[in-house]
Amino acid sequence: MSSGVRKKRVAILISGRGSNMVSLIEAASAPGFPAEIALVLSNRPEAGGLARAQAAGIPTCVLDHTGFADRASFDAALQAALTGADIDLVVLAGFMRILTPGFVEAWAGRMINIHPSLLPLFRGTHTHAQALAAGVRLHGCTVHFVVPELDAGPIVAQAAVPVRPGDDADSLAARVIVQEHRLYPAAFALVAGGRARLENGRVVFSSEVIAPDGALLSL
């Protein structure tokens, strides 16, 4: 960066195809972006996102969770990998593994996730089926700081989509993922640039990203 400020070193954690990861890698490749993707780590050796990261020239690492006796030993290895790569910020992108409270606390304010629902509605898995079962007319996605309670962290940004008559879980997922790929890079930029911060359990935004009418710029 021209300012000489060290870019934040980011690890993206994945378990699957990594489409959100790709959108984050593309965003971070822009000149002046406040962070660089230093590592992509998967808990599943077969995750399709690994090849996509390698194609983008990003170092990858596999920590196969099935080779660990328990969550604590997996998380200790994860911590060692992140420390070894000098990581400042952890970005979960389809990482389908519950993290221990100790690990999460160690990364408090420095770890974000995207969840495919308008939290606090529809935590956990099968969020699109949950939305259809509940009969909501709006659905969407949420970027939040990670806290020990699953899908419960302070919210950085959300995007909504309509639920249309005739939707099934697949058609709804396809509509939401378009917004995920737009929202996550924008929210990532805010957090990586220090313009959205976790303070006392709340997300605080820098004044330069708040428009005169109170709207958040760039989201």
**Residues of this chain that bind ligand GRF (CB under 6 A):** 14, 16-21, 49, 93-94, 114-116, 177, 180
Cβ proximity to ligand GRF: between 84 and 162 the closer is 162
Cβ proximity to ligand GRF: between 171 and 217 the closer is 171
User: Half-sphere exposure of 147 toward its Cβ, with a 13 Å CA cutoff?
Assistant: 13
Task: Output the residue with the shortest Cβ distance to ligand GRF.
Answer: 94
Of 202, 190, 159, 165, nearest in space to 177 by CA: 159
Cβ contact 203:191 at 8 Å? no
Cβ contact 9:28 at 8 Å? no
DSSP secondary structure of 61-117: EE--GGGSSSHHHHHHHHHHHHHHTT-SEEEESS---PPPHHHHHHTTTSEEEEESS
Whole-number minimum distance, CB 117 to ligand GRF, in Å? Answer: 9
Beginning with the edge strand found earlier in the chain, give each strand of the sheet holding 155-162 in spatial order.
60-62, 35-42, 8-14, 89-92, 111-115, 138-145, 155-162
Whole-number minimum distance, CB 55 to ligand GRF, in Å? Answer: 15
Whole-number minimum distance, CB 140 to ligand GRF, in Å? Answer: 10
Cβ proximity to ligand GRF: between 5 and 174 the closer is 174
Cβ proximity to ligand GRF: between 167 and 180 the closer is 180
CA angle 125, 108, 63 (to 5 degrees): 60
Catalytic residue among 115, 128, 139, 181: 115
Helix and strand totals (H; E) in the chain:
6, 9
Whole-number minimum distance, CB 65 to ligand GRF, in Å? Answer: 16
Cβ proximity to ligand GRF: between 162 and 194 the closer is 162
Whole-number minimum distance, CB 1 to ligand GRF, in Å? Answer: 27
Rg of the chain (C-alpha set): 17
126: annotated active-site residue: no
Secondary structure letter of residue 56 according to DSSP: T
- The residues annotated with a catalytic role in the active site are 115
